[in-house]
Structure 1
Amino acid sequence: MTFERLKEQRQYLLLECVSGSRAYNLHTPTSDTDLKGIFILPQQELYGMTYTDQVANATNDEVYFEVRRFLELLEKNNPNILELLSTHADNQLYRHPLMQLVRPEDFLSRLCLETFAGYAKTQIKRAKGLNKKINQSFPEVRKDILEFCYVVQGSHSVPMKTWLEQHQILQQDCGLSRIDHFRDAYALFYRQQFAGPVSFKGIFSGEQANDVQLSAIPASTEPAAIMHFNKDGYTVYCKEFAAYWDWVENRNEARYQHNQQLGADYDSKHMMHTFRLLEMAEEIARYKEVRVHRQDRDFLLSIRNGAFTYDTLLQMATEKLEKIQAWYAVADLPDHPDPAHTEQLLIKIREEFYGKK
């Protein structure tokens, strides 16, 4: 089965729904239309050597799950799958009669505390990292090792670059040797100290170097200086530099510009969906329902439109999580769905569907 084949052979569809922001009632004039659905493999293919668990278009905004995979994820209380099953009738493009056998209330359990609220908690942690990226900026050229090297001068230190300029020395003309029992401290020498020719490697090998390098030093020579390399600081800087530019390269530019225009120091759409998940987690515990079509549209869109500060949202989310945990402590929900029921449901759907063929 492929995405293209499924679109041609729609007799294998069990469910097809509008998903994403339009299903949530959170769409704006520029929102795309996403689709999700469920299909069943042709019987002959099911008996073959391969199994296709899901298919999607090139942009991944149309995704269809084979019924076994759908039920596996449903048994795990996967939010996307529970939302798909509970999509409002207005957003259901096609629903096979066999889907009446699959009821959300038969699968809701205490696992939703982790899959909905727990996922939202993960998103909040991610938002903290994203907040840091939005508020930090790195030049396109990475700092080199010399920016993290210092020379002892009397009772204080001076930057390595300053020391080299003062002495009119190039880093390539320097050689380093270790100092026993002093972590990341080195004796520094330079060519002009020696009457004869010496072969020094320099302090570091080039722009992409991750560490300083050592040279062979002629015996009985006093070092010109003692240098310390802040290796830990350089390692952290390189990781943050790489993460920042990876984020710049892969970020949703339209969403980023939207947040810049709002003056929001966080991904507002990201935070909107975090609060949507928290609200849905509470509703499952209180009402045993997955409410996909949001009645709290105005509140959620106000988050998307930057109505709250980042710190206020974090405080609101923390308080919300505490309330949700209290609701789940008293909720009339099983610890997890019944695997035997899931298996019998899959067998019945396949028997009913293939039997009619």
Structure 2
Amino acid sequence: MTYATLKEQREYLLLECISGSRAYNLHVPTSDTDLKGIFILPQAELYGMSFTDQVSNDSNDEVYFEIKRFLELLEKNNPNILELLSTQQENCLFRHPLMDLVKPEDFLSRLCMDTFAGYAQTQIKRARGLNKKINQSFPETRKDILEFCYVVQGSQSLPLKQWLEANQLQQEDCGISRIDHFRDAYALFHRYQFPRPVSLKGLFSGAQANDVQLSAIPKGVEPVAVMHFNKDGYTVYCREFASYWDWVEHRNEARYQHNQQLGADYDSKHMMHTFRLLNMAEEIALYREVRVFREDRDFLLSIRSGEFAYDTLMQMATEKLTRIEELYAKSDLPERPDPALTQQLLIKIREEFYGKKK
């Protein structure tokens, strides 16, 4: 089974729904139309050596799950799957009568605390990281090791670059050796100290170096200075520098520019869906329902429009999570769905479908 084959052989469709922002009632004029659905494999393929559990188009905005994979994810209370099963009738393009056997209320459990609210917590952590990146600014050229080196001067430290400039020295003409029992500290020497030519390598090998480099220093020569390399600080800086520019390269530029225009230091669409998930987790505990169509559209779209400060959203999310935890602690929802029910449903759906196909 492939996406193209499924589109041609629609007799294997069990469910097809409009999904995403349009199903949530959160669409705006520029929103795409996403589709999700369920299919059942042709009987010959089911009995054969291959098994296709999911197909999608190239842009991944149309995704279809084989009935077994769908039920596996449903048993895990996967938010996307519970939403698909609970999509409102007006957004349902096709529904096979066999889908009436699968009822959302038979699968809702305390796992929704981990899947809906837990996923929202993950999104909040990502939002914090994104907030940091939006407010970071790294030049395209990475700082070199010298920016993280200092020399001891009296009872104080002096940036190595400043010390070299003051003494009219070049790092390439210097060499260093380790000082025992003194972490990331080095004895620093210069060529002028040696009457005979010595091979001093300089302090580091180049702009992309990750550590200082040592030179072979003749014995009996006193260093001109003691140098400390803040290696931990340099390592953190390099990691954040690489992470920032990777984010710049792969970010959704249109969404980033949208957030810049709003003056929002967070991904506003991302945060809107975080609160949607939190509200849905709360509703499951209160009403034992998955409410896909959002009556809280105005509130959620106000987040998308950047009307809230980042810190305000973080505080609201923290308070919401506390309330959700309390609701699930008191809820009479089962711990998890019954796996025996999942198996019975899968067998019954396959028997009914393939039996009728004969």
TM-score by length of 2: 0.98
Segment of structure 1 superposing worse, 184-193 or 326-335: 326-335
Q: Which residues in structure 2 correspond to 1:6-17 (within 5 Å)?
A: 6-17=6-17
C-alpha displacement of 1:158: 1.2
- What is the aligned partner in structure 2 of residue 108 from structure 1? 108
Which amino acid is the alignment partner of residue 122 of structure 2? T
Letter in 2 for 1:94: F
The equivalent of 1:203 in structure 2 is 203
Paired residue for 2:150?
Answer: 150
Structure 2 Cα separation of the partners of residues 279 and 264 of structure 1: 22
**How does 1:26-105 map onto structure 2 within 5 Å?**
26-105=26-105
More displaced, 167-176 or 229-238?
Answer: 167-176
Instruction: Output the amino acid matched with 2:231.
Output: K
- How far residue 18 of structure 1 moved from its aligned partner, in angstroms, is 0.8
> What is the match of residue 167 of structure 2?
167
| Alpha-carbon separation, structure 2, partners of 1:47 and 1:168 | 80
What's the counterpart of residue 224 of structure 2?
A: 224
Encode CA deviations 1:293-313: one digit per residue, 9 max, x unaligned: 101100100011111111111
* Count of matched residue pairs: 357
State the secondary structure of the residue aligned to 1:273.
helix
SS at match of 1:17: strand
The offset of 1:168, in angstroms, is 2.2
Task: Give, as a single letter, the amino acid of the residue that structure 2 aligns with 1:341.
Answer: L
CA positional deviation for 1:230 = 0.2
Between the aligned partners of 1:179 and 1:325, the Cα distance in structure 2 is 54
Question: Which of structure 1's runs of 4+ aligned residues deviate more than 6 A?
Answer: none
- How many Å separate the matches in 2 of 1:154 and 1:316? 51
Q: Which residue of 1 aligns with 2:342?
A: 342
CA distance in 2, matches of 1:2, 1:322: 44
What is the CA distance between 1:57 and its match in structure 2? 1.2
Identity %: 80
Q: CA deviation at 1:156?
A: 1.2
In structure 2, runs of 5+ residues without a counterpart are none
Q: Work out the CA distance in 2 between the residues paired with 1:115 and 1:187.
A: 55
Equivalent position SS for 1:356 = helix
Distance across 1 between alignment mates of 2:166 and 2:43: 81
The alpha carbon displacement at 1:209 in A equals 0.8
1:52 aligned counterpart, secondary structure:
coil
Q: Distance in 1 between matches of 2:32 and 2:120?
A: 23
Cα offset, 1:210, TM superposition: 0.7
- Tell me how far apart the structure 2 counterparts of residues 41 and 192 of structure 1 sit (CA, whole Å): 80
Instruction: After superposition, give the CA deviation of every residue in 1:84-106 in whole Å (9 maximum; x if it has no partner).
Output: 11111111111111111111001
How far, CA to CA, are the matches of 1:155 and 1:321 in structure 2? 50
User: Is the partner of 2:221 in helix, strand or coil?
Assistant: coil
The separation in 1 between residues aligned to 2:69 and 2:54, in whole angstroms, is: 8
Structure 2 residue identity aligned to 1:351: E
The CA distance in 1 between the partners of 2:144 and 2:87, in whole Å, is 54
For 1:60 and 1:207, how far apart are their aligned partners in 2?
Answer: 40
Aligned equivalent of 2:251: 251
Q: Deviations over 1:128-160 (max 9, x none)?
A: 111111111100111010000001111211111
Q: Which whole-Å CA distance do the structure 2 matches of 1:241 and 1:328 have between them?
A: 41
TM superposition shift of 1:83: 0.4
* SS of residue in 1 equivalent to 2:213: coil
Q: Deviations over 1:237-262 (max 9, x none)?
A: 01111111111111111111111111
Give distance in 2, aligned partners of 1:5 and 1:191: 74
**Which residue number corresponds to residue 180 of structure 2?**
180
Shift of residue 49, structure 1, vs aligned partner: 1.2
Distance in 1, matches of 2:353 and 2:171, equals 75
1:284 aligns with 2:284: yes
Q: Secondary structure at the match of 2:17?
A: strand
Query: What does residue 131 of structure 1 align with?
Result: 131
Distance, in Å, in 2 between the alignment partners of 1:322 and 1:226 is 53
1:167 Cα deviation after fit: 2.2
1:323 aligned partner: 323
SS in 1 for 2:158: strand
Tell me, in whole angstroms, the C-alpha distance in 2 between the residues paired with 1:329 and 1:225.
63
Task: Report how far residue 332 of structure 1 moved.
Answer: 2.4
Superposition deviation, residue 202 in structure 1 = 1.2
Q: TM-score, normalised by structure 1?
A: 0.98
How far is the alpha carbon of 1:170 from its aligned partner? 1.9
Query: Per the alignment, in what secondary structure is the counterpart of residue 215 of structure 1?
Result: coil
Matched position secondary structure for 1:55: strand
Question: Which letter maps to 2:59?
Answer: T
